[in-house]
Chains A and B, each alone.
Chain A
Amino acid sequence: MTDKNNYDQVDIYKADTAKVIAEMGMDLSLKMLDQMLLIRHFETRGEQSYQQGKVWGFYHAYIGQEAIQTAITFALGRENNLYATTYRCHALALLLGMSAESGMAELFGKKTGNAGGRGGSMHMYTKNMFGGSGIVGGQWPLGIGLAFSLKYRGIKDEVAVVFGGDGSVPQGTLHESMNLAKLWSLPCIFVVENNRMSMGTQLERTIANPPIAANMAKAYGMKSYTVDGMKITDVYDLFKHIKNEVTETSQPVMVEALCHRFKGHSISDAATYRTKEELEEIKKQDPIPYFTSLLKRYCGFTEEEFEQRSQAQKEVVMKAVKAAEEADFPSTDTLEEGVIIE
């Protein structure tokens, strides 16, 4: 981490890796690895389909950041809790129960898609995931609304989680949302996935006083944590801890997950703002090989098993691509349906 953004002055949350792996156990670990592989293959094939002219619009891949949302959703619980995120939303939807078929068909604009072809890449949903917000920072107030609802309805064992990138930190909506969340003691976890890039503008040109979580949370009397988002065990352990803290105190928390996206901001971004060498350096931190190496070290996991699992997820995605290709577009007769509930 570079000194110019003061990240050397902040405590980075570190877990006892061996202990976390032992707690997670092999079954859960493999489920998590499978999800990361599913996301990686989904994004890879999604982008490929885009290049082939079968997917359009904006495409924001989650490649490189898989550990964060995988760890968080598994640590908190995927069946309940309420989630909202940004336009970089494919991974979270997959983690919360969207099938690869449903997600891929949405990218292809087909009627079998997650939102019937109305939302596209940036707007995916599950029963407990409320988007997919296309406007940077637009999701922060929605997120505290989810937490407000939990509190209003007296649901005490769930939390609301709202994700945003470092690019959404300068938006007023985050500051308003943090103020309201603390003021009203809302069980909300603000997660800033800091990949250090607001599209193509580096952190030092967007944030006045980093580190983000440590300094901002203090201003609102909120607790904060900073974690290496490339290390799934650290994030998992942190969120097991935070879940208890937030449900017991009904106080909001801010978490900053330091990470890298391996791709451009969107598919049309050639990422000329960083060199090939820089990207190669970043890719050494790939969360999937990192997690795999831990499983090899502590659980006797083998490269052969990894290849088998990766292949299996790839096949799930290829099947989804095929199904999406074969599915029908929505009938234009349905265009005006669902604008207003009659």
Chain B
Amino acid sequence: MRKITIREAIREALEEEFDRDENVFILGEEVAEYNGAYKITKGMLDKYGPKRVIDTPISEGGFTGLAIGAALTGLRPVVEFMSFNFSFVAFDQIVNNAMKIHYMSGGRFSVPIVFRGPNGAAARVSCQHSHNVEPLYAHLPGCIVVAPSNAYDSKGLLKAAIRNDNPVFFLENEMIYNMVGEVPDYDYTVEIGKAKILEEGIHLTLISYSRMIYYCKEVVEDYKKKGIFIELIDLCTIKPLDVGTIISSVKKTHRAVVVEEGHKFAGVSAEVIAIIQEFCLDYLDAPVKRVCQMETPLPYSPPLEAETIPNIRRIKAAIEEILVGVK
């Protein structure tokens, strides 16, 4: 199978959906003439023209609300946030309009819209440019949140997101745009709401998503050499959470660690752990641990940044704490 980067996979998904449905368009800062701040939309202006590949001024509240208005009439906008940090400028539009109008109108209108862009910490971009937005948006009813970790899922989930009739947050990560993965030539989508078991194991379930999956994979490989087999779950979709996959795995392994790039308090890991205690309490041999970003704004200085974001050392330390009794 051919191998492409996540960046290319996202572009392929956009182009294929552009080809399939003329109601699909993209707008955002620098998406057209500049070819995208992260080159996701490279070449798309030439291919589809300025009607469908639209440069906006720096005006998130305005263009996000515009896209929501357009979606209400049946168009299918893809809103690119140069970074999801900038979505906060449009927070009211996203929360009060995109996420509420379907329910609030008694089902009269739907908002088929995709909000996409890089999420989470990049490299040394400091406190205001490093947010993980998934718990903020996933907290509220009326949306879908996906955060793929590889090229195959990025392409398939973005295509599914564009075809979905709900507001979908498609969370990318700048640090993994160049990760290469196998992607088939044929048209496919990846089902929203399904987690994937990347590695089967028996001793412990490690649950994560997006960029953190790469740290987790290293950890899993290291333990494998010691004869400890960790089951690795890539959530892929944060909301709706694939509760079944999590439960089945933890019932089998009896131990779990959740790794989340974002903060600990009221985060995605808190939700996953609540689910585990609700459905797997009698199966647990140890407390469920979580490895998250520390409770600080994300500092600029490299050693501080490296420590606040989950890293392999901290993931292993959490695993060690609850491996007592295994071997």
Contacts and interface: CB of A to CB of B under 8 A. Distances in A.
A208 interface: no
A80 interface: no
Interface residues of A, number: 40
Contact of B93 (A125, A141, A183): A141
B61 A176 contact: yes
A340 B142 CA distance: 6
A69 interface: no
A142 B59 CA distance: 14
Given A130-B109, A145-B72, A138 B66 contact: no
B66 A118 contact: no
B70 interface: yes
A149 B111 CA distance: 13
A334 to B, nearest CB: 10
Interface string B128-147: 00000000000001111000
Nearest to A142: B69
B65 A119 contact: no
A140 B106 contact: no
B182 interface: no
Contact of B97 (A125, A133, A144, A338): A133
A341 B69 contact: no
B97 A142 contact: yes
B298 interface: no
Contacts of A146: 69-70, 72-73
Contact of A183 (B57, B61, B104, B240): B57
Given A152-B25, A180-B59, A180-B62, A141 B69 contact: yes
Contacts of B107: 116, 338
A251 interface: no
Contact of A148 (B61, B70, B105, B240): B70
A82 B102 CA distance: 17
Given A152-B75, A340-B142, A340-B166, A143 B105 contact: no
A114 B104 CA distance: 10
Contacts of A180: 56-57, 59, 62-63, 66
Given A142-B65, A173-B65, A180-B59, A338 B102 contact: yes
B59 A176 contact: yes
Contacts of B92: 135, 138, 173
A211 interface: no
Given A138-B92, A138-B96, A149 B69 contact: yes
Contacts of B142: 339-340
Contacts of B74: 149
A265 B64 CA distance: 29
What class of interface size applies to chain B in its complex with A? 35 or more
Interface string A109-132: 000011111110001010000111
B97 A115 contact: no
A200 interface: no
A134 interface: yes
Given A152-B25, A177-B62, A339-B141, A145 B106 contact: no
A179 interface: yes
Interface string A325-342: 000000000000011110
A84 interface: yes
A145 B69 contact: yes
Nearest to A84: B69
A145 B59 contact: no
Nearest to B59: A176
Given A133-B97, A138-B92, A339-B142, A144 B62 contact: yes
Contacts of A149: 69-70, 73-75
B103 A130 contact: no
B165 interface: yes
A138 B93 contact: yes
B110 interface: yes
Contacts of A177: 62, 65-66
Report the 4 A-B pairs with minimum CB-CB distance, sorted nearest first.
Answer: A145-B69, A141-B65, A176-B62, A116-B106
Given A125-B105, A125-B106, A145-B70, 14 more contacts: A115-B104, A125-B109, A141-B64, A142-B65, A148-B70, A152-B25, A173-B92, A180-B57, A180-B59, A180-B62, A339-B102, A340-B143, A340-B144, A340-B166
11 contacts: A113-B106, A118-B106, A125-B108, A141-B61, A144-B65, A146-B72, A148-B70, A173-B62, A176-B63, A338-B102, A340-B166
Interface of B: 25, 51, 56-57, 59, 61-75, 92-93, 96-97, 101-110, 141-144, 164-166, 240
Interface of A: 82, 84, 113-119, 123, 125, 130-135, 138, 140-146, 148-149, 152-153, 172-173, 176-177, 179-180, 183, 338-341
